[in-house]
């Protein structure tokens, strides 16, 4: 997920994305962000950016998600939530 200027952009597939505001962001995503920010070491850092997107900075975040940069988050979504975001029925 890319966050910038109050906009939350979630990639759901090749050339497919959903854009939300703070008001329209799904509750599941808000909950994940709250959990991510509750960890002291929630930001992965840039020292190994080529792999950092796939490696959680704390193993407890591996099933939640983590912050890669100030704007980029890796989120671990349940399939049902992902399908809903992607527009699947």
Contact 66, 73 (CB under 8 A): yes
CA–CA dist 2, 65 (Å, integer): 13
Vertex 25: Cα angle to 78 and 12 (nearest 5): 50
Predicted TM-score of the model (pTM): 0.80
Contact 39, 33 (CB under 8 A): no
Number of H helices, E strands in the chain: 3, 5
More confident of the two residues 87 and 65: 65
Dump the DSSP string for 54-77.
TS-SSGGGTTTEEESSSSBEEE--
Question: pLDDT of 51-73, one tens digit each?
Answer: 555 677 778 888 899 888 888 89
Question: pLDDT of 20-35, one tens digit each?
Answer: 999 999 999 999 999 9
Domain chopping of the chain, boundaries: 2-86
Q: Tell me how long the chain is.
A: 89
């Amino acid at each position: 997920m890319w966050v910038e200027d109050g906009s939350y952009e979630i990639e759901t597939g090749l050339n497919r994305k959903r854009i939300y505001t703070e008001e329209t962001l799904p509750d599941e995503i808000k909950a994940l962000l709250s959990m991510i920010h509750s960890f002291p070491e929630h930001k992965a850092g840039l020292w190994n950016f080529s792999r950092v997107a796939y490696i959680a900075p704390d193993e407890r975040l591996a099933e939640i998600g983590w912050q890669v940069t100030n704007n980029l988050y890796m989120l671990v979504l349940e399939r049902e939530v992902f399908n809903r975001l992607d527009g699947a029925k």
